[in-house]
């Protein structure tokens, strides 16, 4: 499994989907799962820019993995987002942590994100909500990455600015370096 990290607007989903096609791996996105939820409370939280609570999030992750035969060939986009989620992922009982071969972190500056999102038009993309999501990401991500590294998970930071193809080439380069693709 490859974990995909990046702030709102970093292109995680675009890159996750392209990688999934190139590698023949399954792309699973917790943000996508929540966006397709009909639950009014989930919709309200998404629109606020805050995170969904951990227990609900474990539920969707578990449900998604229950349908997967091969947990090693998954690109997981948007999880873990909190330290508790990272610890949950690493819990031996869940059997997921040992499948994490690599964490890819898309690095994009706040200025670039603001420019990119100006035209995207999702309900949660108002300027104050975007700012809130960037704040949450910046505050939570480094401790999570440090924790994963302490568990011997390989974390690679990739420049997330440039064209979609350029960024994808960089990601594929890292994936090949770790022999996860030919």
Contact 66, 60 (CB under 8 A): no
Residues of this chain, 53-72, that bind ligand AMP according to CB under 6 A: 57
Nearer to ligand AMP, 47 or 101 (CB): 47
Q: How far is the CB of 182 from ligand AMP (least distance, A)?
A: 29
DSSP string, 46-94: HHHTPPPPHHHHHHHHHHHHHT-S-TTSEEEES---SHHHHHHHH-GGG
Q: How far apart, in Å, are the Cα atoms of 19 and each of 13, 69, 170?
A: 10, 19, 11
Stretch in the footprint of ligand AMP (CB under 6 A) among 49-57, 63-71, 110-118, 150-158: 49-57
Q: How far is the CB of 24 from ligand AMP (least distance, A)?
A: 23
170 makes contact with ligand AMP (CB under 6 A):
no
5 makes contact with ligand AMP (CB under 6 A):
no
- Phi/psi of residue 103, nearest 5 degrees: -115, 125
Contact 51, 109 (CB under 8 A): no
78 makes contact with ligand AMP (CB under 6 A):
yes
User: Using CB under 6 A as the criterion, which residues of the chain lie in contact with ligand AMP when the complex forms?
Assistant: 8, 30-31, 34, 45-46, 49, 51-52, 57, 78-79, 81, 85, 133
């Amino acid at each position: 499994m490859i974990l995909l990290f990046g702030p709102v607007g970093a292109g995680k989903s675009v890159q996750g989907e392209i990688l999934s096609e190139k590698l023949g791996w399954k792309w699973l996105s917790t943000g996508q799962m929540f966006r397709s939820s009909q639950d009014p409370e989930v919709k309200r939280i998404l629109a606020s820019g805050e995170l969904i609570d951990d227990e609900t999030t474990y539920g969707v992750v578990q449900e998604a993995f229950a349908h997967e035969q091969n947990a090693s060939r998954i690109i997981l986009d948007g999880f873990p987002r909190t330290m508790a989620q990272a610890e949950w992922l690493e819990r031996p009982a869940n059997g997921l942590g040992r499948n994490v071969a690599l964490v890819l972190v898309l690095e994009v500056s706040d200025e670039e994100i603001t420019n990119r999102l100006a035209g995207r038009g999702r309900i949660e993309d108002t300027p104050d909500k975007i700012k809130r999501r960037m704040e949450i990401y910046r505050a939570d991500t480094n401790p999570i990455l440090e924790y994963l590294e302490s568990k011997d998970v390989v974390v690679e930071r990739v420049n997330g600015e440039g064209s979609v193809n350029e960024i994808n080439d960089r990601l594929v380069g890292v994936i090949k370096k770790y022999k996860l693709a030919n």
